[in-house]
Amino acid sequence: MLFAVICTSCTSKKEKKDAEPKPPNIIVIFADDLGYGDIGCYGAKGIKTPNLDALATGGFRSTDFFIPANVCSPSRAALLTGRYPMRAGYPVATRPAFPKYKNYGFAPEELTIPELLKSAGYRSLMVGKWHLGMEVKGSHPLDAGFDEYLGIPSNYGVDNTLYHNKDTVAKEVSCEILTSAYTDKVVDFINENQDHPFFIYVSHHIVHNPLLPSEGFKGSSEYGEYGDFVQELDFSTGRIMKALEEAKLHDNTLMVFTSDNGPTYKGQTGGLSGGKYCTMEGGHRVPGIFYWPDEIPVGQTSSTLMSSMDLMPLFCNIAAVNLPKDRKIDGENILDILKGKTSESPHEFTYYYNGTNLQAIRKGKWKLHLPRTVSDQPFWSKTGHPKVDKGFITLEDYVLFNLEDDLAEKVNVVVKHPEVVALLKKQADIIRAELGDVHVIGTDQRVPNLKNPQERDPVELKK
pLDDT in tens, 393-430: 999 999 999 999 999 999 999 999 999 999 999 999 99
Q: How far is it, in rounded angstroms, from Cα 34 to Cα 122?
A: 29
Confidence at residue 76, expressed as pLDDT on a 0 to 100 scale: 98
Separation of alpha carbons 106 and 100, rounded Å: 15
Is 77 in contact with 88 (CB distance < 8 Å)? Answer: yes
Q: Are strands 300-302 and 25-31 parallel, antiparallel or unpaired?
A: unpaired
User: Considering Cα of 205, then 210, then 212, then 213, what sign does the dihedral take?
Assistant: positive
Instruction: Please provide residue 133's backbone torsions phi and psi, each rounded to the nearest 5 degrees.
Output: 75, 50
For the beta sheet containing 357-363, the strands, ordered from the edge strand earlier in sequence to the opposite edge, are: 350-354, 357-363, 366-369, 399-402
- 444/322 Cα distance (integer angstroms): 21
pLDDT > 70: percent of the chain: 95
| Active centre residues (catalytic) | 72, 131
Dist CA 431 CA 49 (whole Å):
39
Radius of gyration over alpha carbons of the chain, in Å?
Answer: 22
Q: How many CB atoms lie within 10 A of CB 11?
A: 10
Question: Rounded to whole angstroms, what are the CA distances from 203 to 81, 125, 149, 319?
Answer: 15, 11, 11, 22
- Residue 242 carries which side chain, given as an amino acid letter? K
The dihedral region occupied by 234, where left means phi > 0, alpha psi between -120 and 50, and beta the remainder, is: alpha
Q: Assess whether pLDDT exceeds 60 at residue 167.
A: yes
Average pLDDT over residues 145-155: 97
Residue 158: closest CA among 73, 226, 94, 250: 94
Which tens digit of pLDDT belongs to each residue from 307-358?
999 999 999 999 999 999 999 999 999 999 999 999 999 999 999 999 999 9
3 confidence band (pLDDT: 50, 70, 90): very low
Domains for the chain: give ranges and CATH numbers: 23-338 (3.40.720.10), 350-462 (3.30.1120.10)
* Average pLDDT over all residues of the chain: 95
Residue in 78, 42, 39, 31 with CA at minimum distance from that of residue 311: 78
| pLDDT tier at 10, thresholds 50, 70, 90 | very low
pLDDT tens-place string over residues 243-267: 999 999 999 999 999 999 999 999 9
- Single pTM value for the model: 0.95
pLDDT at 388: 87
